[in-house]
Amino acid sequence: MKRIIALGILALTLSCSGKSGEAPKPPTAPDPGTDPGVATDAPQMSVSGKDVKDNPKIAALTPTDELNCGTMCGHLAYCNQKMLQKTTSNTALSACVKGCSARRGEADKARWESMETCMKQHRGDQCPALRGCIEAAMSDLQKKLHGMDPPVPEPPMTDTPAEVKP
């Protein structure tokens, strides 16, 4: 069950935003090159004040590629396309890169570090091996993070109602 949840989270992270077979929608933001009110030499900034980078290229990691958020998300999208025949939208790629860059909280940091470790081992067309590695890592991570506090056992059910003392 935990593997299904981890796989679902990964699939949702990289799922496409449109319906299957639907053509991608054109961007609605003005083009900085044609909009006279926008400076073209300044980097775009996000609300948090960090530079907004272009979406990563969807491609398999080669042995010489630098491992960073852009290449990791591009490789995940490549494997989604290869194994599930799903195209990852630009919005999903951008969200993946932003999530990877932010890495907020202990669980989020551990999740991305586990994925990074798996990607170092399984580059190129090794998508099934990468998926297996990520699923195993996410399962182990869930056990580690959620296994720290054992669940409180419920009292056993009895057939007779409890006595109420006046």
Instruction: Kindly report, residue by residue over 89-111, the tens digit of the pLDDT.
Output: 889 999 999 999 998 888 899 99
- pLDDT classification of 37: cutoffs 50, 70, 90: very low
Please give the structure tokens belonging to residue 145: 């993070």
Q: How far apart are CA 79 and CA 87, in angstroms?
A: 10
State the average pLDDT over residues 110-120.
Answer: 94
- pLDDT classification of 72: cutoffs 50, 70, 90: very high
H or E stretch covering 109:
helix 105-121
Please tell me the chain's helix, strand, coil percentages from 3-state DSSP, rounded to the nearest 5.
45, 0, 50
Q: What is the pLDDT of residue 118?
A: 96
Instruction: Supply the pTM of this predicted model.
Output: 0.55
Contacts of 88 (CB under 8 A, 6+ apart): 14, 15, 16, 58, 76, 77, 80, 81
- pLDDT classification of 14: cutoffs 50, 70, 90: low
Q: What is the pLDDT of residue 11?
A: 52
Whether pLDDT at 6 is above 80: no
Name the residue ranges covered by the structural domains of the chain.
Answer: 56-147
Whether pLDDT at 122 is above 50: yes
Whether pLDDT at 66 is above 60: yes
Q: What is the pLDDT of residue 27?
A: 47
